[in-house]
Chains A and B, each alone.
Chain A
Amino acid sequence: MPNILVVAESRAGEVRKVGFELLAAARPLAAGGEVHAVLAGAAGIGAQATSLGAHGADAVYVTAHAALAEYNAEALAALVAARATAGGYRAVLFAASAQGRDLGPRVAARLGVPIASDALSIAVDGDATVVTHYAYAGKVVATLRLNATPAVVSLRPGAVTAVATNGAGRVEDAPPVGDPSASRVLVTESIKGDSRKLDLAEAPVIISGGRGLRSAEHFKLVEDLAEAFGNAAVGATRAVTDEGWRPHSDQIGQTGRQVSPDLYVAVGISGAIQHLAGMRTSRTIVAINKDKDAPIFKVADYGIVGDVFEVVPALTAAIRVAKRS
């Protein structure tokens, strides 16, 4: 039976939603086999195992250790590689999140196999595994064929929808592999952003600001609009992150994040090709720019020619009203 292993990621003792998405992606690959999950964290992490069972895990291997409270790359790589070897899985799935992008290639190398990164879809074709993903700065969709066992894949957050199965998986305690406190690479400080804020990878709506906003303070306009939507994250152009108005992690584009939300609102953004590379796959694009010839209007489903300082507050007020009704 082709069992599948899913690496459920947790932060601050909570399982993250991408883990449920991986379980949903794993089920069709298992073809009658089982879906297993690895869950690691500080003491008490085991309490999170039921939520994995309720989203389709047949078994959850729980490892609790004080040195696993923060992301511990080397300890997790050893742990997941050992589980993958012991379980003889057909595929091992990671989320293409900050953690998964870091952990997946480490585990694949330990298993001596390649990884297909940031998959949009995963399918089985005989002994091979077939994955699609964006390549060439998001300008090309490539189909990759993996001929290795296990097939190691990281899946783009949001590519697959999580499904509540209301199942109850077996929970098995798994000891750490090696000494997690002996890792050479250690997180010494975890800097928390605003916890109310959604992440760019997960938000259905992104409000992004460009140099047209003229200063860091004026990003309040963008934040207010994001708050009016309620399900929005804030992004920025490289012009903005270079100025230090927003952190680099907010940058969208060729050298920033690649996003595909349901709605992308570009505020005071010219639409340089390097910016478009990060957002042109968004489902609906809105642009607000005072220059009617700005290239962003060429990709915007809905463009408003106007001053952001006039249009954005009016839009924020209108969205608040619309969300209430």
Chain B
Amino acid sequence: MKIAVCIKRVPEMDVKFRIAASGTAVDETGLKFDMSDFDGYAVEFALQLTERLGAGEVVVISLGPDAVQETLRKALSMGAARAVQLKVDSIPADGFAIAQALAAELKDGGYDLVLFGKHAADSASGAVGLMTAELSGLPMVHACTKLTIEDGKGTARREVEGGAEIVSFPLPAAASIDEGIARPRYPSLKGIMAAKKKPMDVKPAQLGAARLAITKMELPPERQAGRIIGEGAAAVPELVRLLREEAKVL
């Protein structure tokens, strides 16, 4: 089983962002970066699958500037076999341009399974996986909360409004990973040492033309400071009054 996992390097999200002077990006000063949440789940799922099968190889691919090598190295230290950097000066906002470059790299890779995160934490778009699969002609299941790969077939669960769907598909295929499947392991010391010797291919990305750009970024309006209105059940009548008269939701 040969598995490719596409991972995006993004800032860690548990901070208060500032907007850069350009007004079109976040200020990256002092931010820590890591692979996007869902991409980490995808790497972990791929590792567990090859470990269970006792065969196969996990290849991680990231499109971005040289800084993504650090993120790829982390995936190698978790257990991936090799890494590919598709080099660009900066990661474009246009997901289709990214998908074109990923599809070009995957084309002759002979992968049985190509995995993505459900969406990248920064773009919150959820498009690159589906687009790459379309361009590669692969069947694709998006946002899996369960995924089983057996006998050349896959079965996935997808959450939909008011229920869920069980979906089946043949391999080779692509899938994107949602919550609930796997949490990324912490690299062991041994893994970190081993990763230093693992191959990292660096090639220019065959990016498509960018036709989607970010022209402005702003912080959403601040919430007013919170207010405690009382203690215990005794505060309930006042809450109901406020909901009716002030918030007007009753």
Residues of chain A having any CB pair with chain B under 8 Å: 11, 16, 70-71, 73-74, 77, 97-99, 101-102, 104-106, 108-110, 112-118, 130, 133-148, 184-195, 197, 199, 201-202, 204-205, 238, 241, 247-249, 251, 254-256, 258, 262-263, 273-274, 277, 280-281, 283-287, 292, 296-307, 310-311, 314-315, 318-319, 322-323
Known: A186-B168, A311-B232. A302 touches B239 (CB 8 A): yes
Which A residues lie within 8 Å of B131 (CB)? 105-106, 108-109, 115
Give the docked Cα–Cα distance between A199 and B162 (Å): 6
Footprint of A on B, CB under 8 Å?
11, 13-14, 16-17, 19, 26, 37-38, 93-97, 99, 119, 121-131, 134-135, 139-143, 145, 155, 158-170, 173, 178-180, 211-220, 223-233, 235-237, 239-240, 242-244, 247, 249-250
A287 to B229, CA, bound (A): 10
Complex CA gap A273/B13 in Å reads: 9
Distance in Å: Cβ of A156 to nearest Cβ of chain B: 11
Please determine whether B228 and A305 come into contact, CB atoms closer than 8 angstroms: yes
- The answer to whether A192 touches B163, judged by C-beta atoms less than 8 angstroms apart, is yes
CA distance A11 to B163 in the complex (A): 11
Across the two chains, which residue of chain B brings its CB closest to A202?
A: B161
- Contact between A306 and B233, CB atoms less than 8 A apart: yes
Taking the closest CB of chain A, its distance from the CB of B10, in whole angstroms, is 8
Do residues A299 and B223 form an inter-chain contact, with CB atoms below 8 A?
yes
Residue from the list A11, A102, A141, A298 in contact with B219, Cβ < 8 A: A141
Q: What are 23 A-B contacts defined by CB distance under 8 Å?
A: A98-B160, A102-B158, A105-B128, A137-B13, A138-B124, A140-B220, A141-B217, A141-B220, A146-B212, A184-B173, A185-B141, A185-B168, A188-B167, A189-B166, A190-B166, A192-B162, A204-B249, A249-B145, A255-B38, A256-B179, A258-B124, A301-B226, A306-B233
A305 CB contacts on chain B under 8 angstroms: 228, 230-232
Apart from A144-B213, A193-B162, A300-B228, list 6 A-B contacts with CB within 8 A: A109-B134, A114-B95, A114-B97, A191-B164, A248-B159, A322-B244
CB atoms of B159 and A301 under 8 A apart: no
- Whether the Cβ atoms of A117 and B126 lie closer than 8 Å is yes
Are B130 and A263 in contact, with the CB atoms below 8 A?
A: no
Verify A205–B163 contact, CB threshold 8 A.
Answer: no
Report how far A292 CA is from B11 CA in the complex, Å: 31
Report B3 CB to chain A, min CB distance, Å: 18
Write the nearest CB–CB distance from A187 to chain B, whole angstroms: 5
Residue contact B232 to A300, C-beta cutoff 8 Å: no
Task: State how many angstroms separate the Cβ of A38 from the closest Cβ of chain B.
Answer: 18
**Cβ of A109 and Cβ of B96 under 8 Å apart?**
yes
In this complex, what residue of A is CB-closest to B128?
A: A105
B46 to chain A, nearest CB (A): 18
Considering the chains assembled together, what is the distance between the CA atoms of A318 and B126 in angstroms?
41
Give A310 to B232 CA distance when docked, in angstroms.
7
Chain A residues with CB under 8 A of B164: 190-191, 193, 247, 249
A143 in contact with B243 (CB, 8 Å): no
Give the residues in chain B near A319, CB-CB below 8 Å.
240, 250
State A193–B11 Cα separation when bound (angstroms).
36
Do B161 and A304 have beta carbons less than 8 Å apart? no
* Residue pair A148, B211 in contact (C-beta under 8 Å): yes
A287 to B162, CA, bound (A): 25
Complex CA–CA separation, A192 to B162 (angstroms):
6
Query: B122 to chain A: which residues have CB within 8 Å?
Result: 135-136
A262–B243 Cα distance when bound, in Å, is 11
Distance of A273 Cα from B16 Cα, bound (Å): 10
Q: Across the interface, name the chain B residue whose C-beta is closest to A317.
A: B236
Question: Is A116 touching B240 in the complex (CB atoms < 8 A)?
Answer: no
- When chains A and B are docked, how far (Å) is the Cα of A184 from the Cα of B170? 7
B144 to chain A, nearest CB (A): 11
B99 near A135 with CB under 8 A, answer no
A292-B213 contact in complex given A137-B124, A256-B179, C-beta closer than 8 Å: no
- For the complex formed, measure the closest distance between the CB of B185 and the CB atoms of chain A, giving whole angstroms: 16
A299 to chain B, nearest CB (A): 5
B125 and A117 form a contact (CB under 8 A):
yes
Residue of B nearest to A310 (CB): B233
| Complex contact B218–A304 (CB within 8 A) | no
A189 to B156, CA, bound (A): 11
Q: In whole angstroms, what is the CA distance A139 to B14 when docked? A: 10
Residues A197 and B243 in contact in the complex (CB < 8 Å), given A300-B226, A304-B229, A315-B236 = no
Which residues of the partner chain A approach B121 to less than 8 Å between Cβ atoms? 136-137, 254
In the complex, how many angstroms separate the beta carbon of A325 from the nearest chain B beta carbon?
A: 10
Residues of A within 8 Å of B227, CB to CB, are 300-303
Is the CB–CB distance between A191 and B166 below 8 Å? Answer: yes
Q: How far is the CA of A162 from the CA of B56 in the complex (A)?
A: 51
CA distance A76 to B237 in the complex (A): 51
**Minimum C-beta distance from A244 to chain B (A):** 10
